[in-house]
């Protein structure tokens, strides 16, 4: 079975950068992404080894656990059947958002240590106000700020009550409008983000049978 398991943070840093652990992040065994070190007690990780790994190879796997176990209010996003397949499919959509072919490990190790703040990736230090978004209670979700100054490093959350909360992605990362998390800057072409505003947001609050992302490879083999 394919799975994502915790490795020591120093090893993770070497694997990603070739220069040791320079980014203060460790692996989160529940969300299956790199997380700020202060959000993870590594001693607790082994307990959750199967928590989401058990879903990785399922036919309709999600990168996240279901975001709601109850049905959404009638005013929130039209209900989606659990069998809906989106177009483009998940991996194709991610490739389009990336704006280029998938990078090899060697290419990433070359890009990362030579990246220049403010040139290769945005380097905002604060969240400007007012925000360039007005929340619509009927369309809650997470939205990338695609403005020239943000370049997707900033993003906004609109909740089901129309309340706005804004966030800034850590250094070297920008908001991925498909996975709805901060991702490495080389995985996101911010100019492509706006077209995916509804791609995953429309699946939030849809109940436990609607996952955020389909496993395109598994679906293709069926």
Block means of pLDDT (10 residues each) for the chain, 222 residues, are: 44 36 67 72 82 53 39 52 65 92 90 92 94 88 96 95 94 96 96 95 86 64 39
Q: Is-contact 21 9, C-beta < 8 A?
A: yes
Question: How is residue 48 written in tokens?
Answer: 């959750």
Alpha carbon distance, N-terminus to C-terminus of the chain: 18
CB-based burial of residue 177 (10 Å sphere; 0-12 exposed, 13-18 middle, 19+ buried)? Answer: buried
Residues 63 and 60: their CA atoms lie apart, in Å, by 10
CB-based burial of residue 111 (10 Å sphere; 0-12 exposed, 13-18 middle, 19+ buried)? Answer: middle
Residues 87 and 54: their CA atoms lie apart, in Å, by 26
Residues 114 and 193: their CA atoms lie apart, in Å, by 25
Residue 204 lies in a domain: yes
Residues 110 and 107: their CA atoms lie apart, in Å, by 5
Q: Is-contact 183 173, C-beta < 8 A?
A: yes
Range of the domain at 203: 90-218
Q: How many domains does the chain have?
A: 1
Residue 15 lies in a domain: no
Residue 56 lies in a domain: no
Q: Is-contact 158 164, C-beta < 8 A?
A: yes
Residue 64 lies in a domain: no
Residue 75 lies in a domain: no
Q: Do strands 181-184 and 173-176 pair parallel, antiparallel, or not at all (unpaired)?
A: antiparallel
Residues 181 and 24: their CA atoms lie apart, in Å, by 17
Residue 140 lies in a domain: yes
Residues 64 and 132: their CA atoms lie apart, in Å, by 28
* Per-residue pLDDT, 32: 73
Query: Distance of CA 159 to CAs 3, 46, 61, 170, Å?
Result: 32, 33, 25, 22
Residue 61 lies in a domain: no
Residues 199 and 185: their CA atoms lie apart, in Å, by 20
Residues 135 and 76: their CA atoms lie apart, in Å, by 12
Residue 32 lies in a domain: no
Place of tokens 């996975």: 179
Give the closest residue to 172 by CA, choosing from 101, 107, 124. Answer: 124
Residue 143: its H or E element: strand 141-144
């Amino acid at each position: 079975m394919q799975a994502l398991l915790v490795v020591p943070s120093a090893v993770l840093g070497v694997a990603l950068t070739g220069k040791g652990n320079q980014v203060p992040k460790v692996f989160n065994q529940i969300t299956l992404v790199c997380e700020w070190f202060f959000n993870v007690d590594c001693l607790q990780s082994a307990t959750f080894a199967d928590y989401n790994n058990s879903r990785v190879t399922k036919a309709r796997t999600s990168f996240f656990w279901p975001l709601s176990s109850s049905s959404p209010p009638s005013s929130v996003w039209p209900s989606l059947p659990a069998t809906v397949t989106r177009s483009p499919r998940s991996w194709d959509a991610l490739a389009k958002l990336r704006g280029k072919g998938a990078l090899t490990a060697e290419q990433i190790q070359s890009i990362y240590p030579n990246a220049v703040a403010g040139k290769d990736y945005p380097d905002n230090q604060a969240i400007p106000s007012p925000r360039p978004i007005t929340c619509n209670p009927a369309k809650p979700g997470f939205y990338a700020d695609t403005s020239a100054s943000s370049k997707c490093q900033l993003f906004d959350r609109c909740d089901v009550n129309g309340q706005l909360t804004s966030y800034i992605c850590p250094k070297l990362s920008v908001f991925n409008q498909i996975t709805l998390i901060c991702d490495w800057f080389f995985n996101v072409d911010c100019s492509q983000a706006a077209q995916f505003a509804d791609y995953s947001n429309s699946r939030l609050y849809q109940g436990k049978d609607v996952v955020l992302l389909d496993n395109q490879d598994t679906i293709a083999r069926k």
